[in-house]
Structure 1
Amino acid sequence: MTLSVQWLTVVMMLLSGLGMGAVFDGYRVVSHELRFPRWWLPVLDIVYWMAAAVVVFRVLYASNNGEVRAYVFLGLAIGVILYYWVLSRLVILLSKWLIGAVRSLIAFLLKLVDFLLIKPILALYRLVIVILGFGSALTIFLLKIVIQLVRPFGLLLRWMLGPVTRPLGRWLTPYWQSMRIAERIGKLIPAFVQRWKSWLRRK
């Protein structure tokens, strides 16, 4: 293996160490800000280290065909130490700022949807309810006026037809009483209710 390949491998491992530190800090900040359950943290740690091992091996394979030498671990260690010495605070602050920016953006979008969509729909619904209520009240008012106007004609018609309807009523009353329709209806309704309740119990 040539010296240039070895130096390339050291540089790639150093960058891998920097990336591992940045990703670790970023996911720690995200898990803390989003308040993941504590039992998730060991699982996330395992997933992180497995992913980091795969990525480091891929980088190592691309730089020197996967040969593991002492300078590989040296480059990784220098990258991690350099990251936590120089860049850790900056990455943590940047991660927190990004999370705050995303939260602010989501809150702004929700307020925008509420202002442009939800509130107009509610206002339109209330307007329709008011219009329907006003229309119903106006209809009832007009109907009462019409009834009051038509009532004299109804009384006049009843007075004019009285000589015909009174004898007809006296003639039909015995037949109505003999058929006992009201009594039968009174017995039929409880029987129907009882059958309906028994049918519901079977269901």
Structure 2
Amino acid sequence: MTLYTQWTTMALMFSSGLLLGVILDTYRVLKARFRLRGWVVSLIDLLYWTVSAGLVFSLLMWSNWGQLRFYIFVAVCMGFFLYYHWVSKQMIRLIQLIIKVIEKLVHWTLLALRALIWIPLVTLWAFLENMFQFLFKILLILAKAFLKCLAPLEWIARPFKKYIQKGTGPFIQKFHQICRRWKTWLFKNREKGE
């Protein structure tokens, strides 16, 4: 192994120690923020160490074809401990700030979606429902007025009444049932809205 390869490996292992510290601090901040407990913590710990080992050994394979030397472990540990000694507190503050900014962005995005999409849709639905109820009432009033206008002509239809009732009776009953259901549904929904 050449001297250049050794120094490259040393620098990469030192950097991977720093990166392991950053990842561990991020995990610690997220664990405290979301109050993770129990088996989730164990699962994430296992994931952290698997990713860390994969990162270190992939860098080692890239730099010197996976040749292990004692100084490689020293470089990783030195990077990790120097990170914790000098950078950890500032990095934790930065991670907490980033999390707060992301939470604020999500909060404001949800508020904007509610104001721009949800509230107009609910308002439109209420308007259409009220309009439908209004039109239904007008149709009922017009139908009653029309039937009152036809009431004097009932004597003309008296001889045919028996035949008309036999032929149209089931249809009229079905129509009345549908009208009753619609009326109860509309007024029930209106009472819920109020």
TM-score (norm: length of structure 1):
0.69
Q: 1:139 Cα shift?
A: 1.8
Please name the residue that 1:72 is paired with. 72
Please name the residue that 2:165 is paired with. none
Alignment gaps of 5+ in structure 1: 170-203
Structure-2 separation of matches of 1:2 and 1:153: 114
Alignment gaps of 5+ in structure 2: 163-194
Distance 1:138 1:75, change over 3 A: same
Q: 1:154 Cα shift?
A: 2.7
Percent of paired sites with the same residue: 29
Structure-2 separation of matches of 1:80 and 1:138: 79
Structure-2 separation of matches of 1:95 and 1:115: 30
Q: Does 1:48 align with 2:48?
A: yes
Please name the residue that 1:132 is paired with. 132
Structure-2 separation of matches of 1:149 and 1:2: 109
Q: 1:107 Cα shift?
A: 2.1
Spell out the pairing of 1:1-203 with structure 2 (5 A cutoff).
1-154=1-154, 157=156
Please name the residue that 2:177 is paired with. none
Amino acid of the residue matched to residue 36 of structure 1? L
- Three-state SS of the structure 2 residue aligned to 1:68 is coil
Amino acid of the residue matched to residue 34 of structure 1? F
- Computed over aligned residues only, the root mean square deviation of the Cα atoms, in angstroms, reads 2.3
Q: 1:48 Cα shift?
A: 1.3
Structure-2 separation of matches of 1:144 and 1:61: 89
Structure-1 separation of matches of 2:44 and 2:8: 31
Task: Choose 1 or 2 for highest CA Rg.
Answer: 1
Structure-1 separation of matches of 2:6 and 2:112: 56
Structure-2 separation of matches of 1:57 and 1:147: 89
Please name the residue that 1:199 is paired with. none
- Three-state SS of the structure 1 residue aligned to 2:36 is coil
Deviations 1:17-67, CA, capped at 9 Å, x for gaps: 100100111122223323333222122212211221221122122223322
TM-score (norm: length of structure 2):
0.72
Structure-1 separation of matches of 2:141 and 2:20: 79
Structure 1 stretches of 4+ with a deviation exceeding 4 A read none
Please name the residue that 2:172 is paired with. none
Structure-2 separation of matches of 1:125 and 1:76: 62
